[in-house]
């Protein structure tokens, strides 16, 4: 495990840096990647951000959105330091094969991150977002975030805390946010841009809500999307927030069937440790927000996750 100053020193000593984050990138993955890019460019480094996925258009409000690249098959970028953010290296898609680095740094806030051989880990599970760690890192690097870095890092803080409402938002998170505002981040511009949805996504939400199912004596609620629905729906990330608020529901789950025998699971909770449920299937995350992949057909995967959640509630798997 690296210290923050060792992490800063590794970056300070690099001329060429490649940054990546997890597939299906969220506000923290994108915000922390672009935020770190702006900080390192201010220090004169040559920086590339590589993400192996489509970047939702809503994030075009972030300075640097246009320079994000996708890894190209058969082409490897050589660099001094390769930085993996907001995940272990098992969720970066084709980026792992597209970079040749002297050192690999993994910077994350997921307590389920166990580290990877050959990589150097800086993990701070007390931080609400990887962007909050990048904010700490700016201090260790002695660089003040400019307005571009501030907007990106603020976005990571805001999105991973449900806009400062979840229990992971600490006094440090709020202080970091205040400091980023002084550096030029504009919360209303960012939240308005991130709230915009295509009409079809709201229609998809209505369809999803119409088929939600309560289980575990009403303590859990799930939306289970077949492969056809998953393929048709462009954006489903917001769905889970609409069922986690139901009175009496501890665990909310959204299951999406992506391939005949591959289903993605997202979970949110008020009490139960859903990272433990996710970890039991090889996934991970946080106590109140976690996910995993089940390599089963739709109906079986649905039963598997319902049984696991019901058991966790019955046996009171709290952190
Ligand atoms: P989401 O439900 O928004 O996709 O993910 C919730 C949290 O769990 C996020 O912090 C995310 O990084 C983590 N997570 C989701 N899926 C996985 C997974 O398959 N593996 C691991 N290790 N973490 C996951
Ligand atoms: Mn993330
Ligand atoms: Mn995060």
Compute the C-alpha angle 109/111/117, nearest 5°.
90
Fold of 199-314: Diaminopimelate Epimerase; Chain A, domain 1 (3.10.310)
pLDDT at 17: 98
- Closest C-alpha residue for ligand 1 atom 1: 266
Runs of H (alpha helix) within the chain: 4-12, 27-42, 130-141, 147-160, 171-182, 187-195, 199-210, 227-232, 239-243, 274-279, 298-314
- Closest C-alpha residue for ligand 1 atom 19: 292
Output DSSP code: residue 271.
S
211 is written with which tokens?
């088929």
* Rama region for 144: left / alpha / beta (φ>0; ψ in -120 to 50; rest): beta
Looking at the predicted structure, is the pLDDT value of residue 319 above 90? Answer: no
Which residues, including other chains, have CB under 8 Å from residue 85's CB and lie 6 or more apart? 19, 20, 21, 29, 32, 33, 36, 107, 108, 130, 134
Mean pLDDT of 123-150: 98
pLDDT at 286: 92
pTM: 0.92
Domain boundaries, the chain: 4-195, 199-314
Supply the mean pLDDT for the chain: 97
Report CA(162)–ligand 3 centroid distance (Å): 11
pLDDT at 62: 98
Cα torsion through 93, 98, 102, 104, rounded to 10: -10
Ligand 1 is surrounded, with C-beta below 6 A, by 87, 91, 110, 112, 266, 283-286, 289-293
Half-sphere exposure of 14 (CA within 13 A, CB side): 29
Of 284, 292, 305, which is best to mutate to test ligand 1, by the most ligand atoms within 8 angstroms of its C-beta?
284
Pairing between strand 284-285 and 289-294? antiparallel
pLDDT digits (tens, 9 = 90+) for 219-264: 999 999 999 999 999 999 999 999 999 999 999 999 999 999 999 9
> What CATH architecture does domain 4-195 belong to?
Alpha-Beta Complex (3.90)
pLDDT at 66: 98
Report CA(234)–ligand 1 centroid distance (Å): 19
| Residue the block writes with tokens 């391939």 | 259
Closest atom of ligand 1 relative to the 24 alpha carbon: 4
Confidence of residue 278 (pLDDT cuts 50, 70, 90): very high
Of 167, 289, 294, 295, which is best to mutate to test ligand 1, by the most ligand atoms within 8 angstroms of its C-beta?
289
Half-sphere exposure of 257 (CA within 13 A, CB side): 17
Specify whether the CB–CB gap between 17 and 80 falls below 8 A.
yes
Q: How many residues does the chain have?
A: 319
């Amino acid at each position: 495990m690296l210290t923050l100053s060792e992490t800063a020193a590794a970056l300070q000593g690099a001329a060429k840096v490649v940054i990546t984050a997890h597939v299906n990138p969220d506000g923290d993955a994108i915000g922390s990647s672009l935020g770190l890019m702006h900080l390192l460019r201010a220090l004169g480094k040559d920086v590339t951000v590589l993400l192996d996925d489509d970047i939702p258009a809503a994030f075009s409000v972030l300075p640097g959105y246009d320079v994000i690249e996708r890894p190209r098959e058969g082409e490897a970028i050589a660099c001094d330091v390769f930085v993996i953010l907001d995940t272990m290296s098992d969720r970066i898609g084709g980026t792992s094969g597209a970079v040749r680095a002297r050192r690999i740094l993994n910077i994350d806030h997921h307590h389920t991150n166990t580290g990877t051989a050959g990589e150097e880990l800086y993990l701070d599970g007390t931080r609400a977002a990887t962007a909050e760690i990048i904010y700490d890192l700016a201090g260790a690097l002695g660089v003040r975030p400019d307005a571009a870095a501030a907007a990106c890092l603020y976005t990571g803080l805001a999105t991973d805390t449900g806009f400062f409402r979840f229990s992971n938002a600490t006094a440090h998170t709020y202080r970091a946010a205040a400091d980023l505002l002084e550096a030029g981040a504009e919360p209303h511009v960012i939240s308005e841009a991130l709230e915009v949805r295509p009409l079809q996504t709201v229609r998809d939400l209505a369809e999803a809500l119409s088929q939600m199912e309560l289980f575990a004596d009403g303590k859990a609620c799930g939306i289970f999307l077949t492969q056809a629905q998953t393929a048709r729906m462009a954006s489903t990330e917001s769905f889970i927030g609409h069922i986690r608020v139901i009175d009496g529901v501890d665990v909310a789950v959204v299951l999406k069937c992506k391939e005949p025998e591959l289903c993605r699971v997202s979970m949110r909770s008020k009490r139960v440790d859903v990272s433990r449920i996710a970890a039991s299937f090889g996934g991970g995350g946080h106590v109140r927000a976690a996910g995993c992949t089940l390599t089963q057909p739709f109906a079986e995967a649905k039963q598997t996750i319902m049984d696991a959640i019901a058991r966790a509630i019955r046996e009171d798997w709290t952190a």
